[in-house]
Each structure stands twice: as structure tokens, then as C-alpha cells.
Amino acid sequence: MVNEKLILDGSRVASAVKEDLKPRVDKLNESGITPCLATILVGNDPSSATYVKMKGNACERLGILSKKIELAENTTTEELLKTIQSLNEDEGVHGILLQHPVPSQIDERAAFEAIAIEKDVDGVTSLGFGQTSLGFGTYPSCTPAAILEIMDYYELPIEGKHAVVIGRSPILGKPVSMMLLNRNATVTTCHSYTENLENIVRNADIVVAAVGKPNFVKGSWIKEGAMVLDAGYNKGNIGDVDYEECLKPASAITPVPGGVGPVTISMLLRQTVEAAEKLI
Ligand code: NAP
């Protein structure tokens, strides 16, 4: 059990992940392979453009090629599917990331499903989710992977603990619930129809907030000594957890910014490198 309060420093975890990746990228280079992540940005959403830019920069800093594809706001599903298909067939591309949300005329699920499983380094396909859920997935969704990476880095106990996940989205709440279950936590997944949410959270040893609402989780909901992982990222760099309040009862907590976010990007880098390594 954790004896003193831990501020879970995501930047530190991300640095450790990237340090580990450097020699692996060098080894790939020696074999004539430059890992390459293709990012697809559809439309003009400024936040999405910023996220894609951050991911591209992180790739380049590590020697991973970043192939940026920008498509117009009025792109159709068919056009996007064609782009994805050509990236699937491109031997120089090892991972594909479709930044979401995409404009509303596009069938986002169809677009995700079009990504070849061996290039689904962002863990968005239903096949990838199914494999992750069954415990043999190669590339889990990056934010859930980041949450587990942080817990493992700080050697936080998972087995036998009651984990309460708030949120059930396909890229976050659901996969992190399955990953915690696979690590022998007892998992309760909450959502907008959950009754008595506060009382459920009060029973949690591990709280994962993936709601998309600033400062949603209150300090009075947190059991003394609980571990709090905040995946939320809202306007103004605000998490889903009221950090100042939850810091008091928690034994370990991620800040926002500087918690789950930087580790998420490092998971994307790692999974891209792993996809390239499969070629050796
Ligand atoms: P999402 O698709 O909007 O899902 C939000 C989830 O929260 C839904 O399952 C929803 O329930 C649930 N919810 C909404 N209001 C609730 C309430 N009052 N009580 C209980 N549950 C409630 O969001 P997401 O994509 O999972 O993202 C969640 C947060 O994580 C956002 O802040 C996002 O910015 C952040 N995020 C961070 C990263 C990162 O790298 N750090 C990556 C992705 C997302 P229903 O299913 O019933 O609607």
C-alpha cells in the first residue's frame, strides 16, 4: 500500500518511456527502417489541429517520421476511407492515427474500422478493443494504456482493488475498465445514467475520471487513501477531478496538466515503434 501521498508525475513517466524508446529507434534505423506514424486531420477544429501538431512534434523529437495528412472540412466518408486504405497499403507507414472528432457528415466508426489492425497504434478499432478486452491486444487505446503505465511506474496496487471508472467511451472508459479487470481489479463502470454515483465513488480504491466535465469529481467523494487517475482534459487545462479537493484524501493523484496527457502521447510513440519493430 502507498504510505505517503504521491503526486503522479506524468512528465516523468513519459520521459522514462521515451528514454527506453531511443535505442529501439536507433536499432530500427540501423536496419534501414524509420518508424512512421501517419496522422489524419479532417477539417479545421483548432484543438484537433493542436493535438495532431503535438503528436507530430513528439514523433520527430524521437526520430519517428510524422506523415501529416490534412483533409478538408467537407470530406466524405468514402474519401476518408480511400485515404485510410492507401495508408494501410503504404509499406513506409507503420501506424495510423485518425484524429477525432471528425466532422459530422463522416461515419467515424466506419473510418476507425477501416484502419488495418497491425497499424491501429491508437487502439480505435473494434478488433483492437476486443483483443484488449480478452487480454491479448497488441495496441490498446493510448489513454487507458497511459493510466496503467502510470500505475505500474509508481507500483500502485491494482489486483483485488475496487476500481471505479467514470465514463464508458470506446476509447477511454470501456477499455480502461477492461484493462483494470484483466489486472484483477473489481471494476465498476459508471456513466450518465448511473444512480448514486457519489456513493459508488466513495467505495473506490482506484478512481478513474473520464467524464469530460471540469472539476466533476469532488473531494468529498474520495475515500481516504484512494488512488485518483484523472484522464480529463477540459478547456483551460482543467481535469475532470477537483484536484485541490481530492488531493487531501487521496494517497496518489495525477495532476492536470502533467498527468495522464503526456503519457498518452508516449504510448502512441511506443506503439508506433512496436509496429515498426514487427518488420525486423
Ligand atoms: P466522452 O466520449 O464524452 O465520454 C464521456 C463519458 O462520461 C460518457 O460515457 C458519459 O456517459 C459519461 N458521463 C457524462 N456525464 C456524466 C455524469 N454526469 N455522470 C457520470 N458519467 C457521465 O469523453 P471521452 O472521449 O471518453 O473523454 C473523457 C475526458 O477525457 C475528456 O475530458 C477528454 O478531453 C479526456 N481525454 C483525455 C485524453 C488524454 O490524452 N489525456 C484522451 C482522450 C480523452 P454516457 O456514456 O452515458 O453518455
Average pLDDT across the chain, whole number: 97
Ligand 1, residues at Cβ distance < 6 Å: 143, 166-169, 171-173, 190-194, 197, 210-213, 231-234, 240, 260-261, 264
183 DSSP β-pair partners: none
- The pTM of this model reads 0.96
Residue 168 C-alpha to ligand 1 middle, in angstroms?
7
- Cα dihedral 106, 40, 129, 117 sign: positive
Whole-angstrom Cα distance, residue 202 to residue 219?
10
Which DSSP symbol is given to 97? E
Predicted confidence (pLDDT) at residue 88 exceeds the cutoff of 50: yes
- For ligand 1, atom 1: residue with the closest CA: 169
- Does residue 70 sit in helix, strand or coil? strand
Check residues 3 and 245 and name the one with the higher pLDDT.
245
Under CATH, what is the fold of the domain 32-116?
Rossmann fold (3.40.50)
| Percentage of residues of the chain with pLDDT beyond 70 | 99
Ligand 1, atom 15: nearest CA belongs to which residue? Answer: 192
Alpha helices, H only, the chain: 10-30, 46-61, 77-89, 108-113, 126-134, 142-153, 173-182, 197-202, 243-247, 260-277
Nearest CA to ligand 1 atom 35: 232
CATH 3.10.20.440 for the 141-261 domain, yes or no = no
Residue length, the chain?
A: 280
Q: Where are the domains of the chain?
A: 32-116, 141-261
